[in-house]
Amino acid sequence: MKVGIIGAGQLGRMMALAGYPLGLEFEMLDPNPRACGGQVAPLTVAAFDDREALAALASRVDLVTFEFENVPVAAMEFLAGQVEVFPRPPVLETAQDRLREKECFRQLAIPTPDYRPVESRAELEAAVAELGLPAVLKTRRFGYDGKGQFILRQPGDLEPAWAALGGAPLILEAFVPFGREVSLVAARSRAGGMVFYPLAENIHRDGILRLSQACSADPMQALAEEYTRRVLEHFAYVGVMAFEFFQVADGLVANEIAPRVHNSGHWTIEGSETSQFANHLRAILGWPLGSPELLGQVAMLNFIGELPAVPALLGEPHLHVHAYGKSPAPGRKVGHATLCLPPAADLPGALRLLLPRVNLPALLD
């Protein structure tokens, strides 16, 4: 079996690395000739909407998936007319638009922040008057890792926010006074079977994930699974999906879904019985899903901008290093490491010792 992957970043790279032990082959398509997935699989360099290149890829593979959600929906619909595509394009269309996404959550009785669509400066002022401050102004499309967002804390913030983001369709969301950010990674098979990984608690800096800790027997696990199940069933979803939540005093508030393998699930490579990447492939191929069982205590550290000295990290016990083969650049995800400890170990203590060694000293303060 050969799987085509639209996008050839680190997620596609890790997907292929998970699939080779299963006897699979891969081919990727990406406009970047230096995309790191091209180090592990044949790479077609073409625009995501290049129909000639897409048709050629479809003719060489058995099915197609994607590794990030900003692929043009029209391109995936074109591919779906020639080869099986999972996840199916409708969920991509919803996930690409924050307003559609929020409306979907409301339809499924999943709590969200209060929100208003914003198309003009006058609508922004009206939305702020209704929702109050603080609030978060976001572009409806193409926002990730903190991009396309502006926090409004006082009336004087409206002018710079509009100058930065105006001109594109926007959404204003009421600020959520959350206790922590969590995410649930789940897989749904072609036959409808589902597995849910343990909830992960996430810490961000500058809008980018820096640390995820897998949570054993988390009190929010069942509620997160219920909300995620509603979305998976609504779309007859096939593959891995991540659902990000804010935890508040009385439960969970939906932030967003990612219809793909997810950064907050990288810990599953060493930290669970079956990785999110392997389960994504199993799901889209119609194979049995693997156990998501947590193996001990696990945390994942993101390396942003540049890698720490890898040889020094290799001397750290229980630490598994992943370098993506990407050149350093501000804000770029260039690698991660997973700390896997026995069930009775002191994970917070181990992280406090480790974090200063990888230039992340204040994440647990």
Contact 57, 207 (CB under 8 A): no
Largest CA distance in the chain: 58
250-259: pLDDT as tens digits:
899 999 999 9
User: Residue 305: CB partners within 8 Å, gap ≥ 6?
Assistant: 328, 329, 330, 331, 332, 334
Under DSSP, is residue 154 helix (H, G, I), strand (E, B) or coil?
coil
d(CA 288, CA 348): 35
Contact 241, 231 (CB under 8 A): yes
Which segments of 219-297 does DSSP mark as H helices, in order?
A: 221-234, 268-271, 276-285
158-192: pLDDT as tens digits:
999 999 998 889 999 999 999 999 999 999 999 99
106 pLDDT tier (thresholds 50, 70, 90) = very high
CA distances from 312 to 160, 253, 263, 303, 307 (A): 43, 40, 24, 14, 11
Q: How far is CA 193 from the centre of its chain?
A: 21
CA distances from 276 to 54, 90, 279, 314 (A): 26, 22, 5, 24
User: Residue 309: CB partners within 8 Å, gap ≥ 6?
Assistant: none
Sketch out the chain's domains with CATH numbers.
Answer: 2-85 (3.40.50.20), 114-174 (3.30.1490.20), 180-358 (3.30.470.20)
CA distances from 176 to 14, 246, 275, 312 (A): 33, 8, 31, 40
CA distances from 3 to 69, 71, 83, 223, 314 (A): 18, 17, 11, 34, 32
Q: How far is CA 6 from the centre of its chain?
A: 16
d(CA 208, CA 211): 9
Q: Give me the DSSP letters along 77-96.
A: HHHHTTSEESS-HHHHHHHT
143 pLDDT tier (thresholds 50, 70, 90) = low
d(CA 300, CA 211): 6
146 pLDDT tier (thresholds 50, 70, 90) = low
Does pLDDT of 144 surpass 90? Answer: no
Residues 88-108 have a mean pLDDT of 96
328 pLDDT tier (thresholds 50, 70, 90) = very high
Pairing of strands 319-323, 333-341: antiparallel
d(CA 313, CA 301): 12
d(CA 325, CA 334): 7
142 pLDDT tier (thresholds 50, 70, 90) = confident
Looking at residue 357, what DSSP letter applies?
A: G
What pLDDT sits at residue 206?
85
CA distances from 78 to 45, 72, 85 (A): 18, 10, 10
Label residue 139 left, alpha or beta by phi (over 0 means left) and psi (-120 to 50 means alpha): beta
d(CA 252, CA 16): 33
Total number of residues shown for the chain: 365
What pLDDT sits at residue 256?
95
Q: 202 pairs with which residues across the strands? A: 181, 212
**Mean pLDDT computed over every residue of the chain:** 95
